[in-house]
A and B are shown apart, each in its own frame.
Chain A
Amino acid sequence: MSISLYGFILGLFLWAALSAKASPRDPAQISFLGAWSLVASLLGFVPMAAVLGGFVLASRPRPVVEIVFPAPFHRSIFGQELVRRGIILMSIGVIVMAALVGLVFSRLYTIPAWLGALRVAFVVLPIVGLWWLGGHFSFYLVSRRGGSLQSVILFGSLFPLLLGPPLLMANVIFAPSSPAARILMAPALPFTELLLGFPLGAPELLVIGLTWAAFGLLAVLALRWPYEINEGDGIPVGPTAGGLSVERAPTPGFLRHLAIRLRFRYVDFGGGVRALLGRNLTLSMRSPHLLINVMTAGFVVLLGALLLISPGRRVSIAPLIMGMIVAMVAPLGSPSPAMEVGQLDLIRLLPFRPRDLFSGYVALPAAYVAAWSAVIGVVAIVTGIPVVLALLLFGAFGSMGLAAASLAFLAGSLPIPSALRSAAMESPVTFSPWLFPAFLIVMIEIIPLFFVWGTPSVFPLLEFVAATNMLLFTLFSVVGIARFARPL
């Protein structure tokens, strides 16, 4: 039944994408490099989807597993059900994002909104799905082995995330016809052409078809896999998983050793809400925030350097990628209520007014976002971009980051599913699922910018993005403060 449903959706997408005759109003207006960068970035970001995929089984509510599926029962049904829900949720997320992007497309080109949405969904779904399921399987399989291997997988996933887009850019700039560049560009090209409505040849159709086939195959496999779920198996969601029992402190693993070695001294700013600010600054320099901040800095500096040394305006798209990274990691670079689900009781009991709590949490990401957006604006000016455009970039990325950070604050006040609540009791670091719309919002806003970059349309769109995000920031802040003013 499920396979038939997926098959029907796949068929609908394929028919719509290939049979449509609509073409852009002015093909020359389209930035092919922009569209390609978008798809290439998507390929570069999929390790993140893979990491998220790994948490499918980790978020299972163990007491429920124990009670509903006691030892003699085959618990694989439970794992399969989690995967099924995961695939459905992922598909809904992609389709919603595609629908909104399709609406923007319809305003920019003669492409009907539904067709634009279908093209985006058809391109994004198999790429994200393939890596998500790949991540799910790799995490499940290594969870049968040990913690060190999981660390290797995690870092292996982060490596392309860190270096993928800069490497792609470097190849495009310096050796566009080199075999390495061709190999790097090849996976993204067919999808880019499909996204823009270019005629597709047999090789392109083959690549797209194979990607969809691999996604479908992996989905069927994941839905039928005989998972062995027992207490202590799956992804270790907390330090208790490393110890023999909760009474025994776990043996520090590689990540914990790293966290201990890279200890940033505690910053004591003084009393009241400054205490929260000091604690947050300290934690932003420790794992896992430290890792995210180092990655952001590496990304932005590397892309900025590439942009500065590139000949002409060949990689003028780089500021958009830099801004996308800054806005996406804004809620992750320092603690937020959405990332302290387990510790929220401690936070809510502090003798702070909700608006002080808000300031204590949002001040730091706001400062980070302002600083990085300023760097992007300056780099853009140095490379010859008009000052007005650089200011608009600063405003758009700064407001995107602010909106994301305020959503991370609000997310901590929203109830979370019981499965995650159960995991929060065991895990030291638990994300609220309400944090994820922040990434979705950034993606929805940034995708149209890739398409209009280099055209006059970029000015009104950046203004619109900045205004919308300031509105979202105000809304999330007011609702977040109001929600923290009363018990859950």
Chain B
Amino acid sequence: MPDLVVVEGLRKRFRKVHAVDGISFVVRSGEVLGLVGPNGAGKTTALRCLCGLLRMDAGRAQLGGHDILRDPIPARQSLAFIPEIPQPFPFLTPFEHLIFAARAYGLPEGWQSRAEFLLRALDLDEKRESLSMELSKGQKQKIHLAMAMLRDPAILVLDEPLIGIDPKGAHVLKGWIRERAAAGAGGIVSSHSLALIEEVCARVAIMDHGRIIAEGTIDQLRQQAAADRGTSFEEVFLRITEGVGYRST
């Protein structure tokens, strides 16, 4: 399986804070990597560096075989990034976002029927004439999602994609991630929802203090945490990150 995403020795520092401290990982075709970790672990920073939105201090990132800094256009062409905080264009409607995405990414004719389907699937058809500034956070997140789904990219980078999204939207998103992986695409999902990670990710990388402290399938992570097969992923995560579990007093 070819490598879709290659990250080597990625470092990013904000003044004295090492947000990302030399991480490396690979995502292969048909694979979805889960990125989890405590708040401030460096997940979002890593994803933003990987997508070319933030300058990395050291290391390199390749998307679909293209270096994100040296060869950014084909790298971006194959990438869909869904940010943690949705910020669509305030004075465009959901459907107009899809027109713009289809044209900007040069989709072949016929995208309109796919756009109509996505608006229905994500419950945005009732809001198709509303400006995005009138929509709730979840609906705005769905606009980003629809723009990504419209063009079926080879690489998905999703940063907390479920925040604000209703159960139906979450169901559509998870189905799409699995469908894309089955079609040979791949990507990274960063989330605090361990259930989502368990459901859609073949492998998981746990980040803490800017470093990947554990990586592997969930079973492999259980072994690293010296946990038995019945131990929940949440418990495994807490053991690896040395978190203090909640105890009722």
Determine if B133 and A283 form an interchain contact, defined as CB atoms under 8 angstroms apart.
Answer: no
Is A474 an interface position by the 8 A CB rule? no
Q: Interface on A for B, CB 8 Å cutoff?
A: 238-240, 243, 246-250, 252, 256, 259-260, 266, 268-272, 274-276, 278-279, 282-283, 286-287, 340, 342-343, 345-346, 348-353, 424-425, 428-429, 486-488
- Residues in B whose Cβ lies below 8 Å from that of A425: 85, 87
A247 to chain B, nearest CB (A): 6
Minimal beta-carbon separation of A277 from chain B (angstroms): 10
Whether B52 contacts A487 by the Cβ 8 Å rule is yes
Verify A352–B104 contact, CB threshold 8 A: yes
Best-surrounded residue of B55, B69, B104 (most CB of chain A within 10 A): B104
Q: Which residues of B contact A268 (CB under 8 A)?
A: 99, 103
| Contact B104–A239 (Cβ < 8 Å) | no
Apart from A256-B133, A283-B89, A349-B79, what 4 extra A-B contacts exist at CB < 8 Å?
A250-B134, A349-B51, A353-B73, A425-B87
B7–chain A nearest beta-carbon distance, Å: 15
Q: Judging by beta carbons under 8 Å apart, are B92 and A279 in contact?
A: yes
- B91 located at the interface, meaning its Cβ lies under 8 Å from any Cβ of chain A in the complex: yes
Chain A residues within an 8 Å CB radius of B96: 266, 279, 282
| Across-interface contacts of A429 in B (CB, < 8 A) | 90
Interface string of B1-34 (1 = CB under 8 A from A): 0000000000000000000000000000000000
Are A346 and B99 in touch, CB under 8 angstroms? no
Contact in complex: A286, B136 (CB < 8 Å): no
Asked if A279 meets B136 with Cβ closer than 8 Å, knowing A429-B90, A487-B54, A487-B69, the reply is no
Q: Which residues of A contact B130 (CB under 8 A)?
A: 260
Question: Which A residues are in CB contact (< 8 Å) with B139?
Answer: 249
B176 within 8 A of A: no
Collect the chain A residues with CB atoms within 8 Å of residue B53's CB.
345, 348-349, 487-488
Interface centre among A283, A340, A345, A429 (most CB of B within 10 A): A345
Known: A243-B136, A252-B134, A266-B96. A346 touches B103 (CB 8 A): no
B216 CB-CB contact with A under 8 Å? no
The residues of B that contact A256 with a CB separation of less than 8 Å are 131, 133-134
21 contacts between A and B (CB under 8 A): A240-B137, A246-B136, A246-B137, A252-B134, A266-B92, A266-B99, A278-B100, A282-B92, A343-B88, A345-B83, A346-B87, A349-B79, A349-B81, A350-B76, A351-B104, A352-B104, A425-B85, A429-B90, A486-B69, A487-B52, A487-B54
Bound Cα distance A424, B86 (Å): 11
Interfacial chain A residues near B134, Cβ < 8 Å: 239, 249-250, 252, 256, 260
Bound state CA distance, A306 and B53, in angstroms? 50
B82-141 with Cβ < 8 A to chain A: 83, 85, 87-92, 96, 99-100, 103-106, 130-139
Is the CB of B77 closer than 8 A to any CB of chain A? yes
Kindly provide the distance from the CB of A357 to the nearest chain B CB, expressed in whole angstroms: 11
Complex Cα distance, B91 from A286, in Å, reads: 7
Q: Name the residue among A247, A276, A351, A488 with the largest chain B CB count within 10 angstroms.
A: A351
Does the CB pair A247–B100 fall under 8 Å? no
- Is B177 an interface position by the 8 A CB rule? no
Taking a contact as CB atoms under 8 Å apart, the answer to whether A276 and B131 are in contact is no
**In the complex, how many angstroms separate the beta carbon of B123 from the nearest chain A beta carbon?**
13
- Contacts known (A487-B49, A488-B55); A346 close to B89, Cβ less than 8 A: yes
Contact A247 B137 (CB under 8 A): yes
A286 to chain B: which residues have CB within 8 Å?
A: 91
Indicate if the CB atoms of B133 and A239 lie closer than 8 Å.
yes
Shortest A340–chain B CB gap in Å is 8
**Complex interface: chain B residues within 8 A of A282 (CB):** 92, 96
Residue B184 is within 8 A (CB to CB) of chain A in the complex: no
How distant is A10 from chain B, measured CB to nearest CB, in Å?
39
| B132 contact set on A, CB distance < 8 A | 428
Instruction: Give the contacts of B43-65 with A (CB-CB under 8 A).
Output: 49, 51-56
| CB proximity to A under 8 Å, residues B126-179 | 130-139, 164
Q: Given that A239-B134, A488-B54 are known contacts, is A278 also in contact with B103, CB under 8 Å in the complex?
A: yes
Q: Which residue of B lies closest to A246 (CB)?
A: B137
What CA separation (Å) do A240 and B164 show in the bound complex? 13
- Set of chain A residues within 8 Å of B83, measured between Cβ atoms: 345
Q: How far is the CA of A266 from the CA of B89 in the complex (A)?
A: 13
Cβ of A275 and Cβ of B100 under 8 Å apart?
yes
Whether the Cβ atoms of B81 and A345 lie closer than 8 Å is yes
| Cα distance, A150 to B106, chains bound together (Å) | 42
Cα separation A246 to B91 with both chains bound (whole Å): 18
- CB contacts (< 8 Å) of A349 on chain B: these are 51-53, 76, 79, 81
**Closest beta carbon of chain B to A284's beta carbon, Å:** 10
In this complex, what residue of A is CB-closest to B96? A266
A259–B89 Cα distance when bound, in Å, is 14
| Residues A352 and B73 in contact in the complex (CB < 8 Å), given A270-B103, A279-B92 | yes
Q: Residues of B contacting A340 with CB < 8 Å?
A: 89
Residues of B within 8 Å of A350, CB to CB, are 76, 104-105
Task: Compute how far the CA of A485 lies from the CA of B132 in the bound complex, rounded to whole angstroms.
Answer: 29
Known contacts A345-B53, A348-B53, A353-B73: does B103 contact A287 (CB below 8 Å)?
Answer: no
Q: Which residue of B lies closest to A274 (CB)?
A: B103
Contacting pair B88 A487 (CB below 8 A) = no
| Cβ of A322 to closest chain B Cβ, rounded Å | 28
Which residues does chain A contribute within 8 Å of B131, judged by CB atoms?
Answer: 256, 259-260
Contact between A249 and B135 (Cβ–Cβ < 8 Å)? yes
A292 to chain B, nearest CB (A): 13
In the assembled complex, the CB of B96 is this many whole angstroms from the nearest CB of chain A, namely 5
Question: Which residue of chain B has its CB nearest to the CB of A487?
Answer: B55
Which residue of chain B is the closest to A360 with respect to CB atoms?
B104
Q: Which of these, B55, B76, B104, B136, contacts A272 with CB under 8 Å?
A: B104
Q: How far is the CB of A426 from chain B (nearest CB, A)?
A: 9
Chain A residues near B89: list those with CB within 8 A.
Answer: 279, 283, 340, 343, 346
Q: Chain B residues near A348 (CB, 8 Å)? A: 52-53
Cα distance A350–B147 when bound, in Å?
A: 12
Judge whether B90 and A428 touch: CB under 8 Å.
Answer: yes
Which B residues are CB-close (under 8 A) to A259? 91, 131, 133
In the complex, which residue of chain A has the Cβ closest to the Cβ of B144? A346
Task: Please report the C-alpha to C-alpha distance between residue A243 and residue B164 in the assembled complex, in whole angstroms.
Answer: 15
